[in-house]
């Protein structure tokens, strides 16, 4: 619709008299948007206001000129008018609405999908939690955001791959293994000496200072004791404990994600970057390019040559380099991350989307610098950063830390409020704002809880359809959709017809909250107004059939929208 209108506006522009030399009407961008105020019509363009300066003419005069030469398709446009300072408002013809409604019914479960990015592929990396403990609330926001962004991209045509980057290498994994080992020793040798650490916690003597204190560590150790007896006591290092912990914890993570409705297509193990030599290749190539060097036993990335600076104590500014490989021989996160992103880009995706928490924001530019320095197209990398989640219970924030085992797990959260509510709450705000997750509100199955508002509207339509079926009414094609002329009916159709654009806008802006807490609520509200004003069961058969079709279209839109968000659309509540 918009492109048809824009084209005809450009044609009208070209016919205006006294156009300045060099003015190309065909190149003018004509944007249409849905006015906030319904009395301003169904679509409006501000093109006349924007052309005021280049054409050196009053905006209203330009608008009048456009309208005078404008010939939009009369089957779709009922009226055009100039309003306010120079807006041009367009009102749809009712035939356009009936046609649109038929399209919704025809598209069914695919309604809302577009092929905008049909020839493109996207890799979405999310969750990527270290397998050192159960998923927590913070991982939950990451998982739900990533999963939903992947859905949104898929609905706009991308071929989407969902990937979990599995951090199964590095120091944290060693600490994890040592934590399990200490618990194991205590499990098979009850007389193992103990010590007290920060917070008055009593642990085995060999427990690392920064070890993982969760009860799951003890469980894994006990399982090892049950399975192997004391045979692992003289293991040369912590490797078997690390492996056991990793496998047990990852199985838990997978189960939690499945429960949350989050699925992954691929798992990429950080270890393979070491096994294949990819990380060392990065170091070698950077050195060849003169962008890496040795100093104090460590390998440094010469980011100072790539624009990275820091401010000195004296207030001056100087270049800053960062460490790639510590003097201990162990790489920092940057090195495998650069290698991993090179790998992702090398797989030919048109878009590589990363989802990560605000604490990683400072690290991402170094990775981009590394990728660019080695000749890959970093422009394909896009990052969605989300702010932290604060759980609020009884008006008080709940403090969390994985290592100190003082946290609420994602499973506990789902136990308490259900997966649908968890997903919705993580999606209802812009990723860029801090999220207060109000447990008391989430638990409340009432009108205060926004997710129920959407699900209830869907269940209500399903109920109407059941009732209609009992009375022999069918919504199959053939209804005369031109009968839908009530203001509430037209308003509902117009709202429904925006769905594909809303999905696309949410995808482009990487902003699932637009769907969750704005558009779908508008759909439910528009349906509720229709429900109030227009009965179905008991009306004349023609009208009842047409209204039943409209209700079906509303249900389709709600169901598809909830599907994008990964939230169930119940038929009964």
Partner RNA sequence: GCCCACGUAGCUCAGUCGGAUAGAGCGACUCUCUCCUAAAGAGUAGGCCGCAGGUUCGAUUCCUGCCGUGGGCACCA
Question: Binding to RNA (CB under 7 A): which residues in 410-469?
Answer: 429-430, 432-436, 445-448, 450, 452-453, 456, 459-460, 462-464, 466-468
34 binds RNA (CB under 7 A): yes
12 binds RNA (CB under 7 A): no
Among 513, 545, 554, 557, binds RNA (CB under 7 A): 513
Q: Which is nearer to RNA, 410 or 492 (CB)?
A: 492
Six-digit token pair at 199? 């917070």
355 binds RNA (CB under 7 A): no
568 binds RNA (CB under 7 A): no
Using CB under 7 A, which residues numbered 132 to 171 contact RNA?
A: 167, 170-171
Among 61, 114, 130, 192, binds RNA (CB under 7 A): 130
510 binds RNA (CB under 7 A): no
Q: Which is nearer to RNA, 123 or 384 (CB)?
A: 384
497 binds RNA (CB under 7 A): no
Nearest approach, Cβ of 115 to RNA (angstroms)?
A: 20
CA 536 – CA 540 distance, rounded (Å): 9
DSSP-based three-state secondary structure for 338: helix
> Please, what's the largest Cα pairwise distance for the chain?
98
- Select the span of 115-123, 184-192, 243-251, 353-361 touching RNA (CB under 7 A): 353-361
Among 75, 358, 401, 406, binds RNA (CB under 7 A): 358
52 binds RNA (CB under 7 A): yes
CA 403 – CA 136 distance, rounded (Å): 11
CA 383 – CA 124 distance, rounded (Å): 10
Tell me if 299 sits within 8 A of 325, measured CB to CB.
Answer: yes
87 binds RNA (CB under 7 A): yes
Residue count at the site for RNA (CB under 7 A)?
95
Using CB under 7 A, which residues numbered 524 to 543 contact RNA?
A: 524-525, 528-529, 531-532, 534-538
Residue reference for tokens 């918009």? 2
Q: Residue 320: how many CA atoms within 13 Å on its side-chain side?
A: 11
Among 84, 159, 208, 418, binds RNA (CB under 7 A): 84
Tell me the torsion sign for CA atoms 261, 262, 264, 265.
Answer: positive
Using CB under 7 A, which residues numbered 310 to 339 contact RNA?
A: 310-311, 315, 323, 326-328, 330-333
CA 8 – CA 69 distance, rounded (Å): 9
Count CB atoms within 10 A of the CB of residue 562: 23
205 binds RNA (CB under 7 A): no
Contacts of residue 121, defined as CB under 8 A and 6 or more positions apart, other chains included, come to: 158, 159, 160, 161, 348, 349, 350, 351
CA 539 – CA 33 distance, rounded (Å): 36
Q: Which is nearer to RNA, 165 or 184 (CB)?
A: 165
396 binds RNA (CB under 7 A): no
Q: Which is nearer to RNA, 121 or 430 (CB)?
A: 430
- Select the span of 96-104, 193-201, 261-269, 308-316 touching RNA (CB under 7 A): 308-316
Q: Residue 34: how many CA atoms within 13 Å on its side-chain side?
A: 13
Q: Which is nearer to RNA, 192 or 528 (CB)?
A: 528
Among 18, 29, 115, 198, binds RNA (CB under 7 A): 29
CA 426 – CA 136 distance, rounded (Å): 13
Nearest approach, Cβ of 541 to RNA (angstroms)?
A: 13
CA 114 – CA 563 distance, rounded (Å): 15
Among 26, 53, 316, 379, binds RNA (CB under 7 A): 53
- Residue 251 burial class via C-beta count within 10 angstroms: exposed 0-12, middle 13-18, buried 19 and up: exposed
Q: Tell how far CA 452 is from the center of its chain.
A: 21
Can you name the residues that pair with 301 across neighbouring β-strands?
292, 322
Q: Which is nearer to RNA, 203 or 511 (CB)?
A: 511
Tell me if 286 sits within 8 A of 353, measured CB to CB.
Answer: no
Nearest approach, Cβ of 267 to RNA (angstroms)?
A: 16
Q: Which is nearer to RNA, 143 or 186 (CB)?
A: 143
Nearest approach, Cβ of 298 to RNA (angstroms)?
A: 4
Using CB under 7 A, which residues numbered 464 to 493 contact RNA?
A: 464, 466-468
Tell me if 380 sits within 8 A of 352, measured CB to CB.
Answer: yes
521 binds RNA (CB under 7 A): yes
4 binds RNA (CB under 7 A): no
Buried b (16+ CB within 10 A) or exposed e, 409-423: bbbebbeebbbbbbb
Nearest approach, Cβ of 106 to RNA (angstroms)?
A: 24
User: Can you list the positions of beta strands (E) in 214-325?
Assistant: 266-269, 292-295, 298-301, 309-311, 317-319, 322-325
Nearest approach, Cβ of 199 to RNA (angstroms)?
A: 19
Nearest approach, Cβ of 547 to RNA (angstroms)?
A: 8
Helix (H) or strand (E) holding 393, with range, is strand 389-393
Can you name the residues that pair with 437 across neighbouring β-strands?
391
Nearest approach, Cβ of 210 to RNA (angstroms)?
A: 9
């Amino acid at each position: 619709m918009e492109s048809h209108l824009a084209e005809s506006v450009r044609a009208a522009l070209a016919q205006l008299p006294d156009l300045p030399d060099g003015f190309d009407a065909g190149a003018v961008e004509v944007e249409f948007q849905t006015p906030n105020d319904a009395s301003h019509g169904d679509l409006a363009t501000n093109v006349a206001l924007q052309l005021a300066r280049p054409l050196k003419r009053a905006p209203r005069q330009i608008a009048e000129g456009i309208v005078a030469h404008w010939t939009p398709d009369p089957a779709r446009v009922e009226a055009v008018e100039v309003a306010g300072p120079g807006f041009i408002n367009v009102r749809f013809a009712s035939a356009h609405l009936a046609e649109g409604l038929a399209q919704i019914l025809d598209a069914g479960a695919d309604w809302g999908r577009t092929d905008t990015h049909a020839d493109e592929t996207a890799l979405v990396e999310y969750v990527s939690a270290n397998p050192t403990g159960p998923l927590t609330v913070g991982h939950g926001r990451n998982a739900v955001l990533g999963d939903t962004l992947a859905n949104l991209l898929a609905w706009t045509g991308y071929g989407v791959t969902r990937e979990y980057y599995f951090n199964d290498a590095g120091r944290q994994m060693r600490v994890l293994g040592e934590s399990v080992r200490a618990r194991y020793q205590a499990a098979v040798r009850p007389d193992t000496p103990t010590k007290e650490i920060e917070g008055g916690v009593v642990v085995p003597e060999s427990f690392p200072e920064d070890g993982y204190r969760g009860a799951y560590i003890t469980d894994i150790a006990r399982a090892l004791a049950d399975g192997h007896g004391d045979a692992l006591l003289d293991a040369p290092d912590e490797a078997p404990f690390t492996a056991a912990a990793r496998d047990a914890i990852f199985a838990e993570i997978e189960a939690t994600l499945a429960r949350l409705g989050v699925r992954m297509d691929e798992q990429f193990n950080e270890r393979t970057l070491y096994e294949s030599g990819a990380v060392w290749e990065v170091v070698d190539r950077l050195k060849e390019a003169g962008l890496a060097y040795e100093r104090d036993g460590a390998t440094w990335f010469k980011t100072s040559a790539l624009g990275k600076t820091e401010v000195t104590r004296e207030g001056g500014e100087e270049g800053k380099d960062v460490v790639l490989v510590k003097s201990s021989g162990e790489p920092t996160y940057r090195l495998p991350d650069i290698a991993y992103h090179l790998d992702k880009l090398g797989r030919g995706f048109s878009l590589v989307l990363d989802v990560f928490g605000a604490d990683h924001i400072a690290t991402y530019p170094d990775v981009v610098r590394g990728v660019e320095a080695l000749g890959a197209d970093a422009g394909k990398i896009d990052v969605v950063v989300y702010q932290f989640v604060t759980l609020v219970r009884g008006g008080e924030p709940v403090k969390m830390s994985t290592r100190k085992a003082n946290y609420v797990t994602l499973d506990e959260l789902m136990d308490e409020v259900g997966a649908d509510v968890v997903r919705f709450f993580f999606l209802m705000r812009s990723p860029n704002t801090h999220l207060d997750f109000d447990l008391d509100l989430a638990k409340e199955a009432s009108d205060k809880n926004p997710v129920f508002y959407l699900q209830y509207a869907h269940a209500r339509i399903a109920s109407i359809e059941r009732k209609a079926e009992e009375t022999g009414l069918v919504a199959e094609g053939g209804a005369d959709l031109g009968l839908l002329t009530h203001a509430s009916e037209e308003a509902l159709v117009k709202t429904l017809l925006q769905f594909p654009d809303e999905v696309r806008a949410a995808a482009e802006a990487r902003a699932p909250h637009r769907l969750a807490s704005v558009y779908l609520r508008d759909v439910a509200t528009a349906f509720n107004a229709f429900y109030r004003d227009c009965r179905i069961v008991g009306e004349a058969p023609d009208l009842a059939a047409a209204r039943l079709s409209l209700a079906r279209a509303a249900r389709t839109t709600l169901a598809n929208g909830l599907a994008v968000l990964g939230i169930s659309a119940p038929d009964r509540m």
